[in-house]
Structure 1
Amino acid sequence: MPKTGMPDIRKPQLVNATMSVIDRVGLHAASIALISKEAGLSAGIINHYFGGKHGLLEETMREILRQHGRTIQNLLKYIPPEDHQSRINAIISGNFEGYQAESKVVKVWLAFWSYAMHDIQLSRLQRVNEKRLISHLKIELKALLPSERVIPVAQGVASLIDGLWLRGALNPQGIDVAKARDIINDYLNLQLQIYAKT
């Protein structure tokens, strides 16, 4: 029987090992044996805590989403609520910088997106993530745009974030954060010039 408190140590250990193995060999080759060896634990512990590789992948993605949410919240808490454009830029930055831009996290995101097309639970996590991004953007855009433009512009910004992130993730040089931010802000500024509340 596992010692009290061990799940709090072992689960993050296994999640980190999963990311490291996916970074090194890709998702399809990331076997339970390789992950458990990376974590320095028995293969049985993965089944015990997660019910197998699929459960471990799901928990790994949940952890990335939690970190993503914390990153954006931390960026937003230092920006006054009335500075909507700076808050939008913080949301943009939170998708391209720090933890989200680490090589192993990027590779897990790519694997997650490909798996989410064929897996109900992972697809649900992707929808939650997408709705959270749109919600953050809508909160800020409501103060800047007429109500009928808020959702289309939020979806436009979100699409640019995803597309530029994907292009950067597949580029050997990685994500050019400054360029991504400039492209998204060009789009946003154009929308504001045309539709901004007067």
Structure 2
Amino acid sequence: MPKLVDPAARRLEVVDAVFRVVVRDGLAQASLRNVADEAGLNIGSVRHYFAGHQELMLFAMRSMLDRVSHRLARHIEEAPDLATASGAERRAVMDGLLCELLPLDDVRRAEVTVFVEFMTAARTDSALGDLAREAAEGSRGLITRILYRLSARGDLRPGLDPDTEAVRLWGLIDGLCLNSVLHPDLLSPDACVTALRGHLAQITTDSDADGHSTRGR
């Protein structure tokens, strides 16, 4: 009796193979044949689930974005109620969310590496352009929402504009991600966290749950 194959699971297995090839050898080496070899399949099997290379790349990029989004959503679900949380708890939630975007372990490093490869390709590949734009808008939007919520609770330093600070923080995180995967010997995960938290300390206040500053008490 022929073995039943779950199409959705098999497509994700192929995507995992894409990621491994991209992390190890770069996006240029993620041909259908190389991906099939990596997945332990023949190329006909890969073509059964993906019409061609472009469809596979788009599906892989979408899968990468979805994985990060799902992890962020899970982090938010597990966070305390920000309406009643203390200032320290709110800042901890912000710290946790932003750290999810950094390459701090093997999983996140692979995701960021794949992200960098796709973003670079999207500059000249219009097929990837819409997803690249969606990814950029998603990151900037998340950071902007975080800073507006901090501002509303009195956690952002007085006089700072959330929109301007969102651009600065967005640029910092993207820069940390890029340099960490390109130059891991120069920028370690610990150094990324230290830089991020140092910046956050400069733009946030120490405040209690009522939004009253406790700095200097």
Whole-Å separation in 2 of the counterparts to 1:142 and 1:164: 23
What residue in structure 2 maps to residue 153 of structure 1? 165
What residue in structure 2 maps to residue 101 of structure 1? 109
4+ residue stretches of structure 1 with deviation over 4 A? 2-5
- Which ranges of structure 1 fall in alignment gaps of 5 or more residues? none
Aligned residues with identical type, % of pairs? 24
Q: Call closer, same or farther: CA 1:111–1:125 in 2, change over 3 Å.
A: same
Alignment size in residue pairs: 193
Whole-Å separation in 1 of the counterparts to 2:203 and 2:9: 47
* Cα deviation digits, residues 14-68 of structure 1 (max 9, x gap): 1111122223332222321121122222313333322211211111111111111
Whole-Å separation in 2 of the counterparts to 1:29 and 1:78: 38
* Cα deviation digits, residues 77-114 of structure 1 (max 9, x gap): 23222443222211221012342223xx3432221011
Whole-Å separation in 1 of the counterparts to 2:186 and 2:65: 20
What is the alpha-carbon root mean square deviation over aligned residues? Answer: 2.8
Whole-Å separation in 1 of the counterparts to 2:174 and 2:47: 33
Q: Call closer, same or farther: CA 1:138–1:26 in 2, change over 3 Å.
A: closer
Whole-Å separation in 1 of the counterparts to 2:90 and 2:145: 9
Q: Does 1:180 align with 2:209?
A: no
- Give the SS at the match of 1:118: coil
8 Å CA contact 1:72, 1:90 repeated in 2? no
What residue in structure 1 maps to residue 61 of structure 2? 61
- Give the SS at the match of 2:177: helix
Give TM-score, length-normalised by structure 2. Answer: 0.76
8 Å CA contact 1:84, 1:140 repeated in 2? no
8 Å CA contact 1:84, 1:141 repeated in 2? no
Q: CA deviation at 1:174?
A: 7.8
What residue in structure 2 maps to residue 10 of structure 1? 10
8 Å CA contact 1:32, 1:46 repeated in 2? yes
What residue in structure 1 maps to residue 139 of structure 2? 133
Whole-Å separation in 2 of the counterparts to 1:174 and 1:31: 31
Q: CA deviation at 1:184?
A: 2.2
- Which ranges of structure 2 fall in alignment gaps of 5 or more residues? 152-157, 206-210
Whole-Å separation in 2 of the counterparts to 1:124 and 1:147: 35
Q: Call closer, same or farther: CA 1:6–1:143 in 2, change over 3 Å.
A: closer
Flag the structure with higher helix content: 1
